[in-house]
A and B are shown apart, each in its own frame.
Chain A
């Protein structure tokens, strides 16, 4: 195995190149701070009313793409629960050209707060040119600068996600997350004979694809934050063991130092290390492994079960679960070692802690009185909030903006099976992600490049 080349080779991989240009139009505004008077944090929110007409078709563009661009943007923004699209059938007019002045009265009469105006054209070299502007209807002014994108025509969906991210960011002030993907486990077959396959899809469930690997059991894939790789647990040798997969070639690499039983791996934010648990003589502890050198360092030496570790974004701490105090609880330990500090104290068992990419919260699974919950707490263990409850909710995964979680929910009984859901960290907007098979163990990529 050629270790050194691994990281060198894997510069951030963008699977399509998208060029975008800001362009100024009349009185453009300066930045991406929230432009509308909207409070996301209040208990009850009135969604922002959104109009996204089909994109104006310019030179040679396909009318399906011009419609679909608008549809994907509406779906993305509606999925946040913060926006509500007005159906196109309610529009009193449709924009005819990208550069004609907006008839604001046509949009205020249908109570639109925000108008998205876009166009799509096909360049002679085969690239798509997509432009859009965002308008505040009541103020009759543009929100931020217009943007222009060039890409190959297969990538139109990613343009929709990028435009959605720009709109979401400008209007809410939150970070972007639509132009991202989810890696997960696709499950088929009966409950006592499940076949599990690694799979990948866009965050909205589109572009579902199975990844190539030996047919043995696989568990919990996780993205590298810096390279186009995932790490997962597989049973190729007959025992659970951690492997890397390069997503561009789907080549799998084993890490010799993780022989034995290793599982529950996660990357550090800089992608250079993984934290995982290994079992020796029946005892499971936490280890940190440096990918470039293959040097493995033991972090805990307790004879309790220490597992499900997750790095803090600054790389200085690890949150993990341990039953050292009798039941499963959450602990934080320095990556340099030392004593672990318990942070969860509520009734029940706490498991699968995941540090938010913003650094402010830890998401977890909680088991209490026979029910499973997804919850969040502050890093010091205070302000615990349970967001969901069911027979089995498990495995929270953060969106790149630290604002939305995905997890999987399994139904009980003989026909019981898992599906992936998303929920806002406010506890609102629980949504099932449509997948073509049963689905579990979601993990969210960083924003794509």
Chain B
């Protein structure tokens, strides 16, 4: 009945773990620096956008995801978490389910392109974590997104 607090996000940034052989190898390969993260976010593109109430990958999303795949293949063993989001125009529970659909659509794409399954975690935030705060299509279109966060794996 010990409560939950213990299991939090584990951010695998090549720290500690010296005594864990099997992990060490992965982590050496998976070194990630601030500039890597910046490069991934800005030049590769960590975010793909979706149409209202849809989770299908649009052509603009597919070209970003192809770039993600190429980068992720170079950075072997680097874990990633895909966050699915929705805009505020839906109810809380539905948007959680919709965010999960979007994150899964990205995951399926990466898997099909050969990214290893055990590197990928997914999570949905529904409408809980908007990027933009105005209440019109300009912001909503940016909030309907799936974000690939590199160097992060969810350990339950």
Query: A residues bordering B, Cβ < 8 Å?
Result: 1-2, 190-192, 194, 196, 214, 216-217, 219-220, 234, 236-240, 243, 251-254, 259-261, 263-264, 277, 279, 281-284, 305, 307-308, 321, 323, 328, 349, 351-352, 365, 367, 370, 391-392, 394-395, 410, 412-414, 416, 441
Known contacts A217-B128, A391-B135; A254/B97 CB under 8 A: no
A279-B97 in contact given A192-B133, A217-B128, A416-B133 (Cβ < 8 Å): yes
17 A-B contacts (beta carbon < 8 Å) = A1-B1, A192-B131, A214-B5, A236-B5, A237-B154, A238-B81, A238-B121, A240-B123, A251-B3, A277-B97, A279-B124, A282-B108, A283-B101, A284-B96, A307-B94, A365-B91, A391-B135
- Rounded to whole Å, the gap between the CB of B137 and the closest CB of chain A is 11
Of B7, B97, B100, B121, most A-chain CB atoms within 10 Å:
B97
Residues of B within 8 A of A260 (CB): 156
How many residue pairs link A and B with beta carbons under 8 A? The number is 132
Among B88, B93, B133, residue most surrounded by chain A Cβ atoms (within 10 Å): B93
The reply to whether A352 and B1 contact each other, CB–CB distance below 8 Å, is: no
8 Å CB interface, B136-156 against A: 154-156
Q: Are A281 and B93 in contact (CB under 8 A)?
A: no
Pairwise interchain contact B100-A282, C-beta atoms closer than 8 A = yes
Complex formed: what's the CA distance from A234 to B156 in Å? Answer: 13
Return the contact of A351 from the options B94, B101, B121, B133 (Cβ within 8 A): B94
Q: Which of B62-111 contact A (CB under 8 A)?
A: 81, 88-94, 96-98, 100-101, 103-105, 107-108
Q: Are A239 and B134 in contact (CB under 8 A)?
A: no
Chain A residue contacts of B4, Cβ below 8 A: 214, 234, 236-237, 243, 252, 254
- Which B residues touch A238, using CB under 8 A? 8-9, 81, 121, 123, 154-156
A260–B96 Cα gap in the complex (Å)? 13
Q: Which residue of B lies closest to A305 (CB)?
A: B97
**A408 (CB) vs chain B CBs: closest residue:** B92
Beta-carbon contact of B92 and A219 below 8 Å: yes
In the bound assembly, the distance between CA atoms of A237 and B9 in angstroms comes to 6
Could you say which residues of chain A place their CB within 8 Å of the CB of B91? 308, 321, 328, 351-352, 365, 367, 394-395
B45 contacts the other chain (Cβ, under 8 Å)?
no
Distance of A239 Cα from B55 Cα, bound (Å): 19
What is the CA–CA distance of A417 and B60 in the complex, to the nearest angstrom?
A: 32
- Is B101 in contact with A305, judged by CB distance below 8 angstroms? yes
CA gap between A240 and B100 in the complex, in Å: 10
Give the docked Cα–Cα distance between A236 and B155 (Å).
Answer: 11
Q: Is the CB of B96 within 8 A of A251?
A: no
The residue on A at minimum CB distance from B143 is A192
Partner of B135, one of A214, A281, A395, A416: A416
B93 pairs with A328, CB closer than 8 A: no
Chain B residues with CB under 8 A of A214: 4-5
Q: Which residues of B contact A281 (CB under 8 A)?
A: 104
CA distance A144 to B134 in the complex (A): 55
B6 (CB) vs chain A CBs: closest residue: A236
CA distance A441 to B103 in the complex (A): 25
Report the separation of the CA atoms of residues A391 and B101 in the bound assembly, to the nearest whole angstrom. 25
Give Cα distance in the complex from A57 to B85, angstroms: 59
Asked whether, in the complex, the Cβ of B100 is within 8 Å of the Cβ of A279, the reply is yes
Our pick among B5, B7, B101, B131 for the contact of A282 (Cβ within 8 Å) is B101
Q: Which of these, A219, A253, A328, contacts B94 with CB under 8 Å?
A: A328
Interface contact A392-B100, CB-CB below 8 Å: no
Supposing A305-B97, A305-B98 touch, asked if A220 and B1 sit within 8 A by C-beta, the answer is: no
Q: What residues of chain B lie closer than 8 Å to A251, measured between beta carbons? A: 1, 3
Do A307 and B156 touch (CB < 8 A)?
no
- CB of B132 within 8 Å of the partner chain: yes
Residues in A neighbouring B108, C-beta threshold 8 A: 282
Residues of A within 8 A of B100 (CB): 261, 279, 282, 284
Bound complex: CA of A253 vs CA of B55, how far in Å?
33
| Chain B residue contacts of A240, Cβ below 8 A | 96, 123-124
Complex interface: chain A residues within 8 A of B7 (CB): 236-237
Nearest opposing residue in chain A for B9, CB measure = A238
Q: Which residue of B lies closest to A219 (CB)?
A: B92
A370 to B155, CA, bound (A): 39
* Complex contact A352–B93 (CB within 8 A): yes
- Within the assembled complex, what's the spacing in Å between the Cα atoms of A191 and B130? 8
Of chain A, the residue at the smallest CB distance from B102 is A282
User: Taking the nearest CB of chain A, how far is it from the CB of B121, in angstroms?
Assistant: 8
Contacts A190-B133, A192-B130, A240-B96 supplied; 6 other A-B pairs, CB < 8 Å:
A237-B155, A252-B3, A254-B4, A277-B97, A305-B98, A394-B91
Q: Is the CB of A261 within 8 A of B124?
A: yes
Q: In the complex, which residue of chain B has the Cβ closest to the Cβ of A241? A: B156
